[in-house]
Amino acid sequence: CRFSQMLHPIFEEASNVIKEEYPDKNQVVFARVDCDQHSDIAQRYRISKYPTLKLFRNGMMMKREYRGQRSVTAIADYIRQQKSNPIQEVQDLEEISSLDRSRRNIVGYFEQKDSDNYRTFERVANILHDDCVFLSAFGAISKAERFSGDNVIYKPPGENAPDMVYLGSLTNFDLIYAWTQDKCVPLVREITFENGEELTEEGLPFLILFHMKDDLESLEKFQQEVARQLISEKGTINFLHADCDKFRHPLLHIQKTPADCPVIAIDSFRHMYVFPDFSDLSVPGKLKQFVLDLHSGKLHREFHHGPDPTDVAPGQPIQDLASSPPESSFQKLAPSEHRYTLLREKDEL
């Protein structure tokens, strides 16, 4: 790969620069993988373009890969930023009352910084700092909030939204990470021009609600039904919502326009499939069956060969569809001269 060959000396020089600043190899490790020789590694981490730079913390791959300039200075600066403290230290509890409540805030109250509780909190913050704001208070400053020991609080968006308290062990990384991720990463996320490629790189198909920006009622219904019917499918599919007006192009692929919204569709990264009727959203099990039909291959099969025999009414012939399902609108988000992209669509708008 010509671009990989071009990056190789730059990447190596950046590693030398960082090695001088962080000589302890437990601090920062640079590594490279030949994906021709190690295709199993490429497959495991869903590498689909070359070169790809991904960041790992504590053995976990971060969602956001490096997309900055391919220069020694830019890569070294990125590592320095990643090494900076992701937790804001509070000097007065009054600062907590003036937090930006449009953000998701996680606040830790600790007796001392040099403790296992805080070190676990710090590990979690290092991984999720792009999704939440992390703050901490220590000693006398935090004492009023530590009536039962060290404490971690989630302050959700909204001025009147009630706080939520973490009740598990503060030294159990898996528990506190799972709890914090649940709070910091919404079950239903918005897909935008800015995060579209990022979401695609997670490698999961999309279940998308297309709705008008001011149609919050449809969004709320969708969020409720996803939570009610599909919580067990978290990790097998991404639940998203998109602005119909901005994402006209994907709608055209399923022969819809903003006038048809709200519309629910699945993008499998091969094809797009439309949920038959938004009004059926609250029918028990209907949305879940739609997702299960994706996983079983039924949606793909029926688009090409018509309804399964078990779904055909007695005496009704099986329809042989000559046309293929609409192609994915989100699969190929990296710029290319041979395909449209969301980024290009943004420029057209």
Q: pLDDT of 120-165, one tens digit each?
A: 999 999 989 888 999 999 999 999 999 889 999 999 988 888 999 9
Residue 345 lies in a domain: no
Residue 349 lies in a domain: no
Same domain, 12 and 117: no
**What CATH number has the domain bearing residue 330?**
3.40.30.10
Same domain, 114 and 63: no
Domain boundaries, position 165: 87-184
CA distance 233 to 237: 7
CA distance 92 to 142: 9
At 35 the pLDDT is 92
Q: pLDDT by residue (tens digit) across 83-97? A: 888 999 999 999 998
At 316 the pLDDT is 37
Same domain, 215 and 322: yes
Residue 343 lies in a domain: no
Same domain, 310 and 199: yes
At 334 the pLDDT is 39
At 324 the pLDDT is 55
Burial class of residue 114 (count of CB atoms within 10 Å of its CB; 0-12, 13-18, 19+): exposed
Same domain, 238 and 303: yes
Q: Are 53 and 15 within 8 A, CB to CB?
A: no
Same domain, 148 and 207: no
What is the CA 15 to chain-centroid distance, rounded?
28
At 347 the pLDDT is 42
List of the chain residues with pLDDT < 50? 312-323, 334-349
Same domain, 140 and 263: no
CA distance 55 to 62: 6
Same domain, 205 and 319: yes
Task: Tell me which H or E stretch contains 105.
Answer: strand 105-110
Same domain, 314 and 208: yes
Using alpha carbons only, give the angle 151, 155, 158 rounded to the nearest 5 degrees.
165
Count up the domains in the chain and report the number. Answer: 3
What is the CA 6 to chain-centroid distance, rounded?
30
